[in-house]
Amino acid sequence: LMPNNLLIEGRDSGVQVLTLNRPEALNALNTELLGELSEALDNAEVDPEIRAVVLTGSQKAFAAGADVDEMASRDLVGILEDPRVAHWERIARFTKPMIAAINGFALGGGCELAMHADIMIAGENARFGQPEINLGIMPGAGGTQRLVRKVGESLAMHMALTGEPIDAKRALQAGLISEICQPELTLERAIQIGHSIASKAPIAVRLTKESVRKANDMSLADGQRFERHAFTILAGTADRQEGLAAFREKRKPRFTGQ
C-alpha cells in the first residue's frame, strides 16, 4: 500500500530516505503518518539492502508536532488507548542507524521524533522546541527524557517550561545536533553520512549503536560490560577479519555482513 504522508526512496543505494510529506499541516504527526513511518521502519529493519535511514521533512518544517486537531478529539480514555503510543515504540526500537535531516520547525512531537534519530543535523533555519506547555499539556513522546539527556537539565527545563524554541546554532552548542548546514544541503549531507555508515561492517554498526544507546540507561560499569560483550561478539565475524586484513594489506575492506 502506498503511504499517504510519507515518501520512501533510495533503498537500492543502501540509504533509505523517508520524507515526511504532509505539507498542508507542516508535517504534523497524525496517527496515519506515524503508522506509515513505523511501518516503513519495520520494513527497513528486515531489509538487508538498507544500511541506514535518513528521516527528513520539508524546507519549512521537519514536523510541527502532534496533530493538534486530532489530539483535541481525545479524552482521557482516548489518550490512554492512543494507538500512536505503539507507533512511537516501534520507531524507538529501530536498530539501524537513523539520521535526521532537519530544516525549519521541529516542535513538540517533531522535536521528539528528531531525537529518536541517532544523528541529528540541521539547516541554519531549523527551530527546535517543546511548545506543549503553551497548550496546557506537556511532552508525551520522550521530550522530558531525551532532551535532558541530550542538552542537560537547565536548557531542557527552559525549553519545556517556557515553550521557547532554540535555533540551530544554539542546538549545536548544546549538543542536540552534530552539524549545521545550509538548508538546501541538509538532506544531501545526511545521505552522505548515511553512505559513510553503509560502507562499514553491518554487525559492528549495529552493536555500536546498541552500545552507545546503553550509555543512557546503564551505569558506567554495566555499560562498559555491555560494550565488552559486544566487542567480543564481533570477534566471531568474518567482517572483523576482513577489516583487520584490509588495513594490513593497505586496501579497502569488502564487508559482507557476515
Stretch that binds ligand DAK, among 20-28, 149-157, 177-185, 227-235 (CB under 6 A): 20-28
SS3 helix, strand, coil % of the chain, rounded to 5? 55, 15, 30
* List 114, 117, 132, 190, catalytic entry: 132
Taking CB under 6 A as the binding criterion, the range among 37-45, 67-75, 117-125, 169-177 that sits at the site for ligand DAK is 67-75
Q: Specify whether 204 is catalytic.
A: no
Rounded Cα–Cα distance for residues 16 and 135 (Å) = 35
Going by their DSSP bridges, the two strands 166-167 and 179-181 should be labelled as: unpaired
Cβ neighbours of residue 96 closer than 8 Å, sequence gap 6 or more: 44, 45, 50, 51, 52, 53, 205, 206, 209
97 binds ligand DAK (CB under 6 A): no
Helices and strands in the chain, H and E counts: 12, 10
Query: Is position 85 an interface residue for ligand DAK (rule: CB under 6 A)?
Result: yes
Q: Under the criterion CB under 6 A, does residue 34 sit at the interface with ligand DAK?
A: no
Question: What residues have CB less than 8 Å from 238, skipping those under 6 apart?
Answer: 256, 258
Q: Which is nearer to ligand DAK, 28 or 44 (CB)?
A: 28
Q: What angle do CA 98, 101, 104 make, to 5 degrees?
A: 145
Binding residue for ligand DAK, selected from 16, 37, 53, 84, defined by CB under 6 A: 84
Contact stretch for ligand DAK (CB under 6 A) within 21-29, 170-178, 216-224, 231-239: 21-29
Q: Is 70 a catalytic residue?
A: no
- The yes or no reply on residue 184 touching ligand DAK (CB under 6 A) is no
Distance CA 28, CA 24 (A): 9
| Residue 18 lies near ligand DAK (rule: CB under 6 A) | no
Query: Is 112 assigned a catalytic role?
Result: yes
Instruction: Note if 66 is an active site residue.
Output: yes
Q: Which of 9, 47, 49, 69 is the binder for ligand DAK (CB under 6 A)?
A: 69
Active site residues: 66, 109, 112, 132
